[in-house]
Amino acid sequence: MSAQAEGTKAVSAVVDRTTLHLQVILDHLGFSPGVLDGKAGKSLTAALKGFQETRGLPTTGKADKATLRALYPYRALRPTRLLTLTAESLAGPYVNPLPKDPAEQAKLLALAYRNAMEKLAESFHTTPDVLIALNSPSTRLAPGAKVVFPNALPTSREYDAKLPAEWRKTLTDLNVDATQPQGAKVVVDKSDEVLRVLDKNGKLVAQFMATMGSEHDPLPIGKWTIKGASYNPPFHYNPDLFWDAKDDAKAAKLPAGPNGPVGVIWLDLSKPHYGIHGTPSPETIGRAESHGCIRLTNWDAARLSLMVKPGTPAVFQQ
C-alpha cells in the first residue's frame, strides 16, 4: 500500500489474523478491544473479561476453551473485508501537516484527518500501520481500488432521524452500528481502565477501554450524571485548566474535527469542566494519561452516545 503517497510513514506491523478475528467479534458484540490490530494486550484482555462476565464464565481475560465455545456462534463474522474504494470514502477535507500549537490550530477551518489513510483507518477501527500490513505494497488509495480492512462494518445504519444530519454522517463514516443496547448507568473503573454500560437491571451490556485522569488531573471519583451530548464540537482551549500549558499560552477556540482534543463528541458531565469524549489518537487509549476526563476512541465515544441520554448516572470509582 502506498503509504508515502498519503503522507504516512510506513512502520512494520504484524497482524495475527486469529487475534484480529477475536477482536472483530468482541467489537461487534459491544466489548471493544480498542484498535483492531491483531495484537494481544491489556485492551483485548479487558474486552474478554467483559464478555466473560456477561456469559457467567470465569473472568480469566484469556481466550480459553469455555470462552471460545461461547464465541463460536459468532464465528461467521469474518476478520477482514475486501472493499472497493469510492470517491466519497476518500473525500476530505484534510489538513497536513496538522499543527500542535493551539494558537495555530485555531486558525484552521477544521481539525480534520491528515489524509485519506488516516480517515480510512479510523473508519475501520484500526491504524494506518495495520492497513499497510493487510494490503499489498502496490495497493493505491484511489476510487475503484480494492482494499482489505478489519471487519468493522455495522449491521445497521438506520440512525434516529432526530439526530443532526452531520452527526449521522459521522456515525456512518465511523461505521458505528445504529443498533445499540440502552444503558441505565455508566460505571468507570480506574483500577482496570474501562468504562462499563449497565442496563436497568444492572447487567453489563457494553464495555470500552478508556483513558482516565493523571497524576496532575486525577479521575474525579464520585457520582455524576451525563447532561447531554455535543456532536462534532469545537473546543474552547483554556490554558488555566491545563497544567502542561505554556506560560505564554492564550485562550483559543479550536475548530471541530476528528483530530481535535475531544475528537468527534463531548458527553458533558455534571462535574464542571469534565466529560466523556473522543480522541485524535485512538492507539493511545489505555496507554496514556488525560487531563482528568474520560477519553475513548472516536468510534467508541460515538457508540456510547447512542446508549445513553441526558440524566444517565455516571459513577467514577477506584
* Domains parsed from the chain with CATH numbers: 185-317 (2.40.440.10)
What is the per-residue pLDDT for 247? 58
What is the per-residue pLDDT for 9? 46
What is the per-residue pLDDT for 12? 53
What is the per-residue pLDDT for 190? 87
What is the per-residue pLDDT for 3? 43
Residue with cell 456515525: 171
| Average pLDDT for runs of 10 along the chain of length 318 | 47 84 98 96 97 97 97 96 97 94 94 97 98 95 97 97 97 98 95 95 97 74 96 84 61 92 97 94 74 87 98 94
What does pTM read for this prediction? Answer: 0.91
